[in-house]
Structure 1
Amino acid sequence: MNPVTRFTTVSKTSFLKLFIGLIALLCFMPGAASAAPPITSKIRKDISKTMDAEKRTQNLKAEWKDESRDLADQLEQLEEEAATLKKELKKLTLRLSLEKRKHAENLRREKETGRIKNELTGFLDRVLSTLEANIAVDLPFLTQERKARIVALKEMMVDPEESPAEKFRRVFEALQIEAEYGTTVEVTQETITLDGKEIIVDLFRLGRVSLLCQSLDQKKSAAYDPGTGSWQALPDTVNRDLSRAIAMARLERSIELVELPLGRLQK
């Protein structure tokens, strides 16, 4: 207890005892009996007031102690919460710094991806244009199929929903197909113009080296001349070997040597 508070409490108690003693002394003094009732009544009122004040003071002190204790507990709790929040703030600050670095890295990657995407798109467009030009001057085989593939690729290249990886895959798939034409032998039936007439023929393709054809009755044979862009009739002596070559390409005949006109035709 505070010395001043203790002194005040002791002083008030001593004063109260002294005051009560004086009252008792006055009661036993000569002539006090006649005046006792009014004096005693007044004193009792004063004593009652003093005791009430003392009681209120004690109650206030008790309430203040309780409130002080509660405030101390609240302060301790707030300090603990402040320490916890400080730790959380430090964590959040570090996390924010990390997220900022990640965001910056994502922006850099996005920018780099956009640059690569634009360069890849330009490259694929050039490849597709070159492929289309080569088909236009190549031997006329599977013409509709090859042109349809080019059209589909062009539509895909302008489709925003197609990924760059898919565009790359399909363009190079077309390149691979075209490259394989140079190493394969194939027979298809098509309609050509020969000597001013349209006839259905067996079209025999030997890689990209030569493109020959023979009528279904095997009586007429012709070779495609890239120089003139037209079909040139071949001698009847070619019919037998070409017929055999067509059968071998269809796996209808065992492999054997045959003589066929290859390369550019001589006039």
Structure 2
Amino acid sequence: MKKHFLAMFLLSLIGLLGISAVSANSLTQAQVIEAKTNHSSQRTQQDIDKEAQQILELKTHIEQVTDSLSNLTIYRKHLTQIVSSQEKEIQQLQRQIDQIEETRQGIIPLMYHMLDELDRLLHTDLPIRFTARTERLEQLNALIIRADISDAEKFRRILEAFQIEMDYGYKIAAYQQTITLDDGSQRVVQQLHIGRITLISRSIDKQQAWIWQQDQQQWHSVLSEDLPALDNAFSMAYKQTPPQLLRLPLSVSTPSESNKKEAH
């Protein structure tokens, strides 16, 4: 009976051990599977996270590209407007250049006409400051053909010469000048002009004087009794005395005198 019970116990123990071994083996396999599953899940999650990061970076890049494209569009529009404005300005400048060229084509002949007029005036007017006027005209004739001087400067200088000529018509002035008398002799004199009606020369020692006669184109001696009046005129011209009425001979003929000469 005891032997039978022992045999039954051993069989049961062996069965339990077998079951335990099977259970342990199954547990180990389950743990391996779980570990693999966890590892696979981690890798999958890492892949998901990586893809999500790449998507986020791509989205950020797309936004940056979109912003850059928007900025480029604005900048391109800005450049287009600038180019359009520059084209209009170029057209305007070209029109101005064309107008300047047309003006230049007209002003150059005008300047030559003005020089001719200055020359005519020099040789038909009273010989007021004749040396200075002759030198100025020669300088202008040399200036007008110079390439290094602008047309504007040439025109300004010619206008300046005309202004000086105009001033001779209403100013009273005295200066030193060399004249040629009827006998061909030259004298250094003090010269006085009152506008364009009287031109008088006086010797440096103030003992002789001559008046220019425009109709005869020569110098005539002034009478000694008229010298005091000339002294007053020279004093006024040199601003040594205040302005006053003067009684002086004229260099140009009055209409009545011209009529008398024609009748005679």
What TM-score do the two structures reach when normalised by structure 2?
Answer: 0.65
Report the AA paired with residue 145 of structure 1: A
- Aligned partners of 1:75, 1:220: CA distance in 2, in Å? 106
1:188–1:242 CA distance, 2 compared to 1 (3 A): farther
1:116–1:258 CA distance, 2 compared to 1 (3 A): closer
CA distances 1:89-112 after superposition (whole Å, capped 9, x unpaired): 223322322222222222322332
**Higher deviation after alignment, 32-41 or 73-82:** 32-41
1:156–1:220 CA distance, 2 compared to 1 (3 A): same
- Summarize the alignment of residues 98-247 of structure 1 with structure 2, pairs less than 5 Å apart: 98-157=85-144, 158=146, 160-162=148-150, 164=152, 166-194=153-181, 195-215=183-203, 221-226=209-214, 229-231=217-219, 233-234=220-221, 238-247=223-232
Q: CA RMSD in A?
A: 4.2
The answer on whether the counterparts of 2:197 and 2:251 sit within 8 Å (CA) in structure 1 is no
The answer on whether the counterparts of 1:209 and 1:262 sit within 8 Å (CA) in structure 2 is yes
The answer on whether the counterparts of 1:153 and 1:171 sit within 8 Å (CA) in structure 2 is yes
2:57 corresponds in structure 1 to: 70
The answer on whether the counterparts of 1:215 and 1:221 sit within 8 Å (CA) in structure 2 is yes
Gaps of 5+ in 2: 1-14
1:132–1:60 CA distance, 2 compared to 1 (3 A): same
Q: Secondary structure at 1:250's aligned position in 2?
A: helix
Report the AA paired with residue 122 of structure 2: I
The answer on whether the counterparts of 1:214 and 1:239 sit within 8 Å (CA) in structure 2 is no
1:257 corresponds in structure 2 to: 247
Report the AA paired with residue 117 of structure 2: T
What TM-score do the two structures reach when normalised by structure 1?
Answer: 0.65
1:256–1:217 CA distance, 2 compared to 1 (3 A): same
The answer on whether the counterparts of 1:156 and 1:162 sit within 8 Å (CA) in structure 2 is no
CA distances 1:43-94 after superposition (whole Å, capped 9, x unpaired): 9988877765555344323322222232223223322332232233223322
1:92 corresponds in structure 2 to: 79
The structural deviation recorded for 1:189 is 4.0
Gaps of 5+ in 1: 1-27
2:10 corresponds in structure 1 to: none
